[in-house]
A = this chain, B = another copy of it.
Amino acid sequence: MSTRVGVLGATGAVGQRLIQLLVPHPEFEIAALTASSSSAGRTYRDAAKWRVDTPIPDDVADITVVGTDPDEVPDDVDLLFSSLPSDVGASVEPAFVEEGYVVSSNSSNGRMDDDVPLTIPEINADHLDLIEVQRDNRGWDGALLKNPNCSTITMVPTLAALDEFGLERVHVSTLQAVSGAGYSGVTSMEIIDNVIPHIGGEADKMETESRKLLGSFDGAGIELHGADVSASCNRVPTLDGHLENVWADLADDPDPAAVAEAFRSYPSIDLHSSPEQLIEVFEEFDRPQPRLDRNLGGGMAVSAGGIETTSNGIQYNCLAHNTMRGAAGASILNGELLLEEGYL
């Protein structure tokens, strides 16, 4: 039987992607869509300016949007996907969890909180146990689970695969697609024939979230990974797909073939949205490229290429689809993990 799910913040760009992924999902069934009060009471068709490249099915389009408030969401909804603005999420998500809902959230608020698990299921599924600590701390019945920022997700699978070589220091430069800023986040006058060498708060997220994701759960909390991570984030004129140049200083001295093998053999996980091959490796030096490779594994694979040794380790490039693997797909995969692990 399907799990009844809701989407908090259903009209935005990530909300639309969530719905696009949920409609054909074998385990989940859309039962509630919320938005700000100005949209509440209208049909979804009417409230959202649908911009995804597959049509909305009529039965979803006809759902009446409700306010983003625990009182307005039916009690028989078990799991909520949240793509709220972080300031809204900060106050509303706890309210839902307090009422017993399980929330899989893409919003950036609270990701680094000590008792909030931040997971990529293929990387650190065991961090889910932090939910018990969360429930103890906060007296909650539900649970709040976060996925990381899109630029963090792109890089972390490769870093996890490198950890066997002794990951010590990371420099990463990002070339991020405009969709990462939401539908209206980057104007055309800002980005045509241009690059913007700064994305507010993004470098910080990459530096802290990656250490939490690669950290270890000791029963009481997450011990951050010791790697020193430094990021520089750029917005470029691509629609989808974040490309990243990574340098990893390593304790060991693997050659490019060993690194490629570590990437290729890094295990995926047996969940519906996880790709068979988590990290695809290209031999061509000019790949991966955003437009050509962002849809690998249904948009849920990470790809890498250009692996070369440096004086202290290796350098390489990696790529992921920022609104699939990096946002909507990440939340849904976390939802699948919550279901699998019995939290629903």
Q: Mark A residues whose CB is within 8 Å of B.
A: 51, 53, 171, 173, 175, 178-179, 183-198, 228, 230, 232, 234, 236-239, 243, 245, 247, 285-292, 295, 305-306, 310-311, 315, 317
Contacts and interface: CB of A to CB of B under 8 A. Distances in A.
B228 A195 contact: no
Contacts of A317: 197-198, 232
A320 to B, nearest CB: 14
Given A198-B306, A295-B53, A290 B193 contact: yes
Contact of A173 (B186, B232, B289, B305): B232
Contacts of A194: 238, 289-292
A263 to B, nearest CB: 16
Contacts of A192: 178, 188, 191-193, 237-239, 291
Contacts of A53: 292, 295
A243 B188 contact: no
Most buried by B among A175, A196, A234: A234
Given A193-B193, A197-B286, 15 more contacts: A171-B247, A175-B197, A175-B236, A178-B192, A184-B184, A184-B189, A192-B192, A192-B193, A192-B237, A193-B237, A193-B291, A196-B286, A198-B317, A232-B247, A232-B306
Nearest to A54: B295
A247 to B, nearest CB: 5
A343 to B, nearest CB: 35
Q: For the complex formed by this chain, how many copies does it contain in all?
A: 4
A209 B241 CA distance: 32
Given A171-B171, A187-B186, A194-B290, A243 B247 contact: no
Contacts of A230: 247, 310-311, 315
A196 B287 CA distance: 7
B239 A234 contact: no
30 contacts: A53-B295, A175-B175, A175-B197, A175-B234, A175-B236, A179-B189, A183-B187, A184-B187, A184-B189, A186-B187, A186-B188, A187-B187, A192-B193, A192-B237, A193-B239, A193-B291, A194-B238, A194-B289, A195-B236, A195-B243, A197-B243, A197-B245, A197-B317, A198-B306, A228-B311, A230-B310, A232-B245, A234-B245, A236-B236, A237-B238
